[in-house]
Structure 1
């Protein structure tokens, strides 16, 4: 039996949450992309997040959905406890390294260089250490101390809010926070200052919007999701016929759908077509293992990401039939594996940026010659499920489209009426 890596994840939540808010356009921190990246590296057996949760009450729901244990470290106790969460995190990590020898990898989710001595000690104890942090709020001293360091903003699934083109703002009209990008500032500073800054960074408008969204979600918890309503035969028919489910329910506007997804009980990964999820998983495995990926490893990783996954839901008796179907459609490539019935699975060559720009232009033309930026990436993935602008070296889809504009493939302009970029075939 192949020996799997056992991972323990420790999250300095204040550091990551405030780093995302201050340096990633005010976006809320989401553990999902980290969970997906770690699924390709081994089996996660411990997930703990440390913070004074009275300052991050709205984030509890998302973390609980990802099975993260919330460790409460109160700071408002009439005395200085600014490093209480950090110390507790260090003590637990060291204790676990001695008591649970089967844990081979420790994942330290923080950008604080104060954790460097802990990283060095864990490596002395023959543990592998993976760090995770927001790039602009991560100390330059921490990544070299780790065996591997993942920048949160570079992970697949982290969509940094787009920065709108410069435009005049009429008096009394505010720019939507989801489109703005704050400049300057640093997440560095004493831990005693962090909660105050966290409260200050979320304005009254954002608080009221989130409260309303939470109330709506709470009222609708008993309503089945869109993905659970179709029968298995219809789902299989949609995949085999090449149909790709949309992420927006019929009759709902993008504005109604966009803010609700973050609070919904269903993970956002469920909205992706299976071809896209397989392609993303293969890309993660190729980067983390550096070797061949067999069908058995692929299925095990898909189950880590979604324990409810079953190829039978898509009309296939075995996983081998499922990957052969994807290979026939050109989504993956198969080669002889180490054993019969367990072929090697890989992604077809994605090509250079020129072909990617040409694909973007073709998709825009198929959409009628112009299309809004939001939703365009999903339209591209209908044609190429393994598409990833980050694999091509771009930080986000907007940056990719700007590069396509510079090459002359498309035109990009801000549309005030749509409150979005409009992409037009050149």
Structure 2
């Protein structure tokens, strides 16, 4: 048997009901799972269940990027037809299935059983270095905090819009399910009143375009329109003010980091790093990114449209600059006086 070279060992715990229901509601609207009674997997909602199907393999593949996956457990009532339909995926990946018959009509107790098992495993298996919690319930905040106190790295995976912000903050690293390699990102999440708003919005935006040809003074209105392409220059990224409140775990309604907060994260991380290393003109890029992840575990430059962290920093060129030396990437915060003069 070949020797394993990985020293990090990973334990994965999946609140299966939580992730399946959250994904279904993400695609089909808040409360859709309960409204459709999707747990029974009736033929009429089969297409909706298929569209919201969870890729268990993508979750485990992502977990393996942190080290050797030593434990994989999933918690649910497997007698429910919607959960039983995952039999093939679960068996193929050798996942340990924990049966949870609901003690009441509304709660199956997965959070309690999962938490007890995690702590028992950590005390019994001291070589576990990473704990991956696949859920979005705020009930797991205390578990994540306890795992960190025991010296483990906590990685969270949850559905965008269905994960508690406090749970994201409690993790060392957080990845949205949509952001996992191999997973197709969900479209914009439906909101209450979305249909009415969508029906009302087009007239307000389209009216000026439709009205232009019949306007009594078309020349006066067309002149500014011809200048629009020239104004389409790349906007200057504005630095966060010193009086801004400290960054929140996330300011995006769907649980992702917005472009504005990403800028604030970069500047704050550079300020902290420069303060700790006053004599260092340039800072290691990986160290700065690690600081950003500590400030907000859900930060991911790829969700913002950048292929690398270096590209992300370069997009904020008026706030920070990049130095490339072979394989080394260093960055620094531009002089405050230069920024205020732009």
Shorter-chain TM-score range: 0.3 to 0.5
Which of 1 and 2 has greater Rg?
A: 2
Q: What TM-score comes out, normalization by structure 1 length? A: 0.37
Query: What's the TM-score, normalizing by structure 2?
Result: 0.46
